[in-house]
Amino acid sequence: MTRSISQVTQNGIDGLNDALMWLPPWALLLIIVGICWRVSNYRLAIGALLGMALVWNMNLWSPMIETLTLVVIATLLAIVIAAALSDRLYRVIMPALDFMQTLPAFVYLIPAIPFFGIGSVSAIFATVIFSMPPAIRFTTLGIRQVPEELIEASDAYGATRSQKLFKVQLPMSLPTVMAGINQTIMLALSMVVIAAMIGAGGLGSEVWRAIQRLQPGAGFEAGIAVVILAMLLDRITQSLGKSRKS
């Protein structure tokens, strides 16, 4: 069971990473700049251009793509799990998730290794568990804040449960959900860096390698790349939430 899950997850990681690496750095950079301009303004676009150009200039483009891949997959899995939870299951699982989130981040690496071995899959497993509570909590909060009149109107028109969720509740609660996604991405990014200790790769492995080799300059460069990626993802998700709210 764990072997099949590991294989499917690894295929997804490899597929997304290969797709992003297939694009030339300049092309992906322009795509990122265009997304920033579209969801926010020219200031974010200029910041993204300068930040990504700096990462490229430091020869950290490939590790940055690996980190971005892990963060995206872990965040998507956390969001899917959060959206699939019912209210009853939410009340059952949230105390356990809250308890697990208070544990030190390194503890999550211990159960991941026996089940999925060394590598990116264990990193995804640990990252999803660590970063899932905000997505679940904010999604549930946003859905519960939808006016009861809209729910009654959708019921009166004969909307099914899925139609009510995807056409009424989620669109109305999207700003709150985006805030949860923002927090999930930040936690996932921090955990992915720590997971480099079990062979996750990416910018975290560059930091870990610099520590092992006593190369503070290389570690500082990788740390700057992590900060740039975190700030970029943070601003994009914040802008998406604000645009939906307005």
- Higher local confidence (pLDDT), 225 or 96: 225
**pLDDT at residue number 49:** 92
Report the distance separating Cα 92 and Cα 228, nearest Å. Answer: 37
**pLDDT at residue number 54:** 92
CATH tag, 2-245: 1.10.3720.10
> Tens digit of pLDDT for each residue in 30-74?
998 998 888 888 888 998 999 999 999 988 898 888 888 888 888
> What is the rounded average pLDDT of the residues 122-126?
77
Report the distance separating Cα 232 and Cα 226, nearest Å. Answer: 10
* Low-confidence winner among 89-98, 125-134, 148-157, 201-210 (lowest mean pLDDT): 89-98
What share of the chain has pLDDT > 70, as a percent?
A: 90
> Tens digit of pLDDT for each residue in 189-232?
887 777 777 777 788 888 888 888 888 888 888 889 888 988 88
**pLDDT at residue number 1:** 58
Domains of the chain: which residue ranges?
Answer: 2-245
> What is the rounded average pLDDT of the residues 135-142?
78
Kindly compute the dihedral angle of the four CA atoms of residues 80, 82, 85, 86, in this order, to the nearest 10 degrees.
-130
Q: Which residues contact 201 (CB under 8 A, 6 or more apart)?
A: 63, 66, 70, 120
Structure tokens at 218: 């290389």
Residue 169 has pLDDT above 80, yes or no: no
